[in-house]
């Protein structure tokens, strides 16, 4: 089953657009977990078990593991999802962006070393940086387009040929890059007007939408503007709002409530 097929099945099975960002910080873990041999993995496993009924995918951010010398816990987290919840896709958030043999090695890292179902990539260097990922036809490639951060417009809003740069990225993704039908776009919830315009431009591409909750994006607005022609097409990411819904021993139960509430907001 390809990434897109797995994602479509998860949308329908769980009636959910929620993507849980697995971005654990040792300093923020519940006290009871901090002295475990693999605290990030134990934290993640509890979160995954609690939220799996309410999500369409999981998205570990690689920097949280590399920066804490915990690559083994990232690999173990992805393995656990594949074994316990094989119907739910895993997006490895790395935002890679290089060319040639380096890009091929990054693609091998994501899809062979970590066995991720999809990966995030940066298109700044053009098609050369995307092709090694796109050639894995059964995996997903999610391209940064209109990101949620406050200064994303420094470059993404620059106008060429009468259109902002992010629109050029979206049109290339729709028309030239998606030769294997495995491409999606990152569109921030913090820019709802652009989200709606990009959905009109790209009626079939899946959108990974960060920025709901802690960054100020509105879930209902995202659902209204971002769904595709089938009423699907969204992976609405929440990291801090779900995984740190409680700092106590009830963190998993609190995460489940937060994921369910976000799912219900999006469905409403």
Residues annotated catalytic, as ranges: 95
* Residue matched to tokens 């083994």: 72
For the residues of 16-77, what is the DSSP string, one character each? --EEEEE---GGGS-GGGTTSSSHHHHHHHHHHHHHGGG-SEEEEBTHHHHTTT-HHHHHHH
Q: Determine the 3-state secondary structure of 201 from DSSP.
A: helix
Distances (CA, A) of 136 to 12, 69, 139, 198: 25, 28, 6, 25
For the beta sheet containing 57-60, the strands, ordered from the edge strand earlier in sequence to the opposite edge, are 57-60, 18-22, 234-238, 207-209, 183-187, 140-146, 118-121, 91-96
Cα separation, 210 vs 102, whole angstroms = 27
Distances (CA, A) of 51 to 22, 131, 169, 179: 11, 33, 33, 34
Cβ atoms < 10 Å from Cβ of 98: 16
């Amino acid at each position: 089953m390809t990434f897109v097929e797995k994602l479509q099945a998860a949308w329908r099975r769980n009636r959910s657009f929620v993507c849980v960002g697995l971005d654990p910080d040792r300093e923020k873990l519940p006290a009871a977990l901090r002295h475990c041999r693999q605290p990030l993995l134990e934290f993640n496993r509890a979160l995954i078990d609690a939220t799996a009924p309410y999500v369409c995918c999981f998205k570990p951010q690689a920097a949280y593991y590399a920066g804490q010398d915990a690559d083994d816990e990232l690999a173990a987290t992805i393995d656990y999802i594949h074994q316990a919840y094989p119907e739910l896709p895993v997006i490895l958030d790395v935002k890679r962006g290089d060319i040639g043999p380096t890009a091929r090695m990054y693609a091998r890292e994501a899809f062979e070393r970590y066995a991720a179902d999809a990966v995030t990539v940066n298109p700044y260097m053009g098609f050369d940086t995307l092709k090694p990922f796109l050639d894995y036809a059964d995996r997903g490639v999610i391209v940064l387009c209109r990101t949620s951060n406050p200064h994303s417009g420094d470059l993404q809003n620059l106008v060429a040929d009468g259109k902002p740069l992010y629109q050029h990225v979206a049109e290339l993704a729709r028309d030239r890059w998606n030769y294997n039908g495995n491409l999606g776009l990152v569109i921030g919830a913090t820019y709802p007007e652009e989200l709606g315009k990009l959905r009109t431009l790209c009626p079939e591409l899946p959108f990974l939408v960060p920025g709901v909750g802690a960054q100020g994006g509105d879930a209902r607005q995202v659902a209204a503007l971002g769904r595709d022609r089938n009423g699907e097409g969204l992976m609405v990411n929440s990291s801090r709002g779900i995984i740190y819904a409680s700092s106590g021993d009830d963190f998993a139960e609190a995460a489940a409530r937060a994921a369910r509430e976000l799912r219900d907001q999006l469905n409403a």
